[in-house]
Amino acid sequence: MIVLIGAGGHAKVIVDILKASGKQIAGFYDDHPQAKLEDLTLLGKIEDITNDQPEYRFIIAIGNNEVRKKIADQLERLGCKNGTAIHPAAIIGSDVEVGEGTVVMANCVINHSASIGAHCIINTAATVDHDCKIKDFVHLSPGAHLAGNVSIGSGSHIGIGSSVIQSVKVGAGSVIGAGGVVINNIPDHTVAVGCPAKVIKSNK
């Protein structure tokens, strides 16, 4: 039984994925007392989460990577278990690892021997090619494409429609702007944009 945390647009898409894959949703937590998420039950504020029902599997349905990490730390302290949501129209190759709490949206392709960390978002129609290594709390935006053997550090955000050529490393906590074309390694905690993507500022 899945429990969602958050009730925004990202959460709505995850509800659709869970419905399409036949998973039951017990309800959702959100800090706004008037929050609505389809016909699901609001279970309380995020600070009210407990591990009283060990059959629950939590998915943090919030797009911001840092917020997701903070809540994941809270869930870990409580001993809560995480669920995953993988759209039935996603294609997952052999020897692919998908970490707990991660969501994979419709029309994604994750190819042979790629590994995806925990609490990642592999957004609509993103592709991750063979042997890529994606650490925890990464967001690959819709239509982002990673060639083979790319590494993405923890908490980085790859913008919508970006491409990363083979064997390049994007550091931790970095952002690649929408439509960026990454052909060189990108350091930790930076924002890079354009074609070819160049660092324009720090992301600390």
Ligand X SMILES: CC(=O)SCCNC(=O)CCNC(=O)[C@H](O)C(C)(C)COP(=O)(O)OP(=O)(O)OC[C@H]1O[C@@H](n2cnc3c(N)ncnc32)[C@H](O)[C@@H]1OP(=O)(O)O
Query: Catalytic residues, which ones?
Result: 130
64 contact partners, CB below 8 Å, separation of at least 6 = none
CB of 29 to ligand X, least distance (A): 21
Nearer to ligand X, 42 or 165 (CB): 165
Residues 142-171 that bind ligand X (CB under 6 A): 142, 159-160
Work out whether 177 is an interface residue with ligand X (CB under 6 A): yes
- From candidates 82, 102, 111, 141, binder to ligand X by CB under 6 A: 141
Does residue 126 touch ligand X according to CB under 6 A? no
Contact 160, 140 (CB under 8 A): no
Neighbours of 43 (CB within 10 A): 19
Stretch of residues binding ligand X (CB under 6 A), selected from 14-22, 84-92, 111-119, 193-201: 193-201
Sole window of 36-44, 49-57, 125-133, 189-197 interacting with ligand X (rule: CB under 6 A): 189-197
Round to whole Å and give the CA distance between 128 and 123. Answer: 11
CB of 51 to ligand X, least distance (A): 30
CB atoms within 10 A of CB 127: 20
d(CA 114, CA 91): 12
Burial (CB count within 10 angstroms: exposed 0-12, middle 13-18, buried 19+), residue 16? middle
Select 130 or 157, whichever has its Cβ closest to ligand X: 157
* Cα radius of gyration rounded to whole Å, the chain: 17
Between 43 and 191, name the residue whose CB sits nearer to ligand X: 191
CB 45 within 8 A of CB 31: yes
Contacts with ligand X by CB under 6 A lie at 123, 141-142, 159-160, 175, 177-179, 191, 193-194, 200
